[in-house]
Chain A
């Protein structure tokens, strides 16, 4: 019954989405408020039904109802409860259901909190949301229905892929989808604006918070996924430039550009057409990512050809939405009024440069992702485009971007003073040069690239701090005034500083990890000691343990430094009987921002075991950076300026306005 109810709820959601696609638009044409308001109720009802459908699938997984094919293929009665729940989106059908549920959630949020939107804008936005939703409901119902029954139900399921039986699966995909799908809102707003032929600064004020929410989730989702890969795959890598990862990075790059261009549009009413185009491109890249991941085209274009229904379906959706929206853009963009003049050297100019570098970097990633596919399809030879390619292309572009980051927030709107800003950034520049010198001296030669990159990271952080110091008047004003100014500073200014500093932090982590990572790989016997980066790691022994749905071999290591005992580390190797496969559970010891990382290989007949030990200096900065960025995003989101329809400040503005 549950499966059928879930299926039925999904069909009803499709019906509601179809109504929502058409009726509000008719209402907008006829200027009929009642018809336009239909969008609001259908969006909420749609959320209710697709939510019910999702809950139904979760219940099927929790109850281990193996008469449902999706549960049989991806679950096991012995699996711990949390993985029964997370296993719902650990497979194609379930993850698509999560995708549409989140789409409906965003639609519902616009419906619920969009009371102060102009009625016709809201109707248009929700109608566009419903188009996307209808397409994906159809996709699920036609090609990937998660509620299909098996005629002769088996007694036991095939279990979830062991690699996915991890807490990472509970957090990473929902976060990522909240980001990916969240960009559908700015897409819908862009299409609505094009259809209405009207766009102004107020439009940007509505779009920016939604984009920011999506961006925050996407940032955290990508970082979380990277950390998951780092500890789960067992060799300490955290980014592989694999097409699936690129699929999430591209919307992030475009979305970051969108955040910044929406800022120009909101403050200065300029870059309108570009902002609209970026909104369309960002969500198009999310759709492209969905296509790449879901169609099987990544592993091989031939895999795509063997089971084409799903791939072709998503490809059709992709062409329809990207082609349709870009044609609409081409037809209507010229009718949008241009506005807001600015000199090339100005805050706007800096934001244009930011957009330029981000979109070009994004294009490079897109090229690297699609080029092997194109070559395989056209010339029939296989190749892989990996880290070396991106190091030579993406890295220089991003280095340029980072070099410009501290200048942006310090330039004035309309006409900036580059020389003045450079003078104010002198301290940051000196700090960064000193860092380069210290690091260079400390490692005594070696590649010049690493110290320079760390210097760049320090420059970005120091630049963010300088901006705050300048705005609050720290150093040159009395402390009480500084406090007062700091309190009066818009939250978005703090957000900018945190997000930009996060970039620098992540860069330093990346450089330290890749340059000074030390590793020790060998077979170890009991009581043998490995020496790595000043630590002594002694193998105490091997144990066997029975888990809920796996057997586990644990190795116990005693870690000490200079004779002082620090900790016991217990990496393990789990073998899952149902799938006949095994996973490597690495053990991590965190010391400050650095980590000691141990993972196991195979045991030999003589009782020795292959061991991989890494010392990863400052590796945690790689993820603290994005967390800082997301925190900056949250601060910016809490800014009263972004609170949609927030009343004008009641108080008279404080006399001391921070220097913009």
Chain B
């Protein structure tokens, strides 16, 4: 093989791997990306049942009900809309009524959000950043959260795995 042919083989191989990776990424982007919504956005956009997304907002005070076998229901509110959420399992340590929460799952036929994952921040602000931003945008931002959120050091971010999200399945 001449030098040129060898070079072409290597370049061709590289391009093949790159094309493969690009195809994989494009394929994955089609159906493995999860979007973030607030109850208001869900109400406005009419999200189809069964479509997975992340729901963020505040846990409506007084809405938490524990059923049998670790089944829980609560409502997630963002000031202008509310959405009932059903979940089965253990809630994270930092889950509180009136505090921020992010749940991942999909709507069922009755418009109840069936969550299979509930995320809460492992820091003292109890306010996931996604939720804070969404609330700020809608003007439902309480100053005390703001003070906490900006004043709170983020020690959890120091390490790769003392990472700020703890998830519960």
Contacts and interface: CB of A to CB of B under 8 A. Distances in A.
Interface in A218-241: 221-222, 225-226, 228-229, 232-235, 237, 240
Question: How large, as a class, is the contact surface on chain A?
Answer: 35 or more
Interface stretch (A204-212, A302-310, A482-490, A540-548): A302-310
B24 A225 contact: no
B1 A343 contact: yes
Given A92-B158, A161-B155, A244-B157, A388 B165 contact: no
B130 to A, nearest CB: 6
Given A357-B17, A383-B34, A169 B159 contact: yes
Contacts of B27: 392
B36 A393 contact: no
A172 B160 contact: yes
Contacts of B51: none
Interface in A459-491: none
B167 A293 contact: no
Interface stretch (B77-85, B88-96, B106-114): B88-96
Contacts of A77: none
B9 interface: yes
Interface residues of B, number: 57
Interface string A561-588: 0000000000001000001111110000
A293 B154 CA distance: 10
A604 B90 CA distance: 12
Contacts of A361: 21
B126 to A, nearest CB: 9
B70 A161 contact: no
Nearest to B156: A161
B21 A363 contact: yes
B157 A168 contact: no
B162 A299 contact: no
A192 to B, nearest CB: 28
B98 interface: no
B155 A90 contact: yes
A349 B32 CA distance: 34
Interface string B135-169: 01000000000000010011111111111111111
A233 B94 CA distance: 12
B24 A173 contact: no
A56 interface: no
Interface in B53-73: 54, 66, 69-70
B122 to A, nearest CB: 5
A161 B161 CA distance: 13
B133 A360 contact: no
A91 B24 contact: no
A597 to B, nearest CB: 13
Contacts of B50: none
Contacts of B28: 388-389, 392-393
A522 B153 contact: no
13 contacts: A91-B155, A92-B153, A161-B156, A164-B155, A164-B162, A172-B159, A222-B160, A235-B167, A245-B163, A296-B154, A386-B32, A522-B69, A601-B91
9 nearest A-B residue pairs (beta carbon):
A601-B90, A229-B161, A388-B32, A382-B36, A392-B28, A299-B129, A225-B161, A300-B129, A161-B155
Given A296-B154, A388-B28, A522-B69, 19 more contacts: A91-B155, A92-B155, A92-B157, A161-B122, A164-B159, A221-B160, A294-B157, A299-B164, A342-B6, A360-B18, A381-B35, A382-B54, A384-B34, A389-B28, A392-B27, A392-B32, A393-B21, A602-B90, A610-B70
Interface of B: 1, 3, 6, 9-10, 13-14, 17-18, 20-21, 24-25, 27-29, 31-36, 54, 66, 69-70, 89-91, 93-94, 122-124, 129-130, 132-133, 136, 150, 153-169
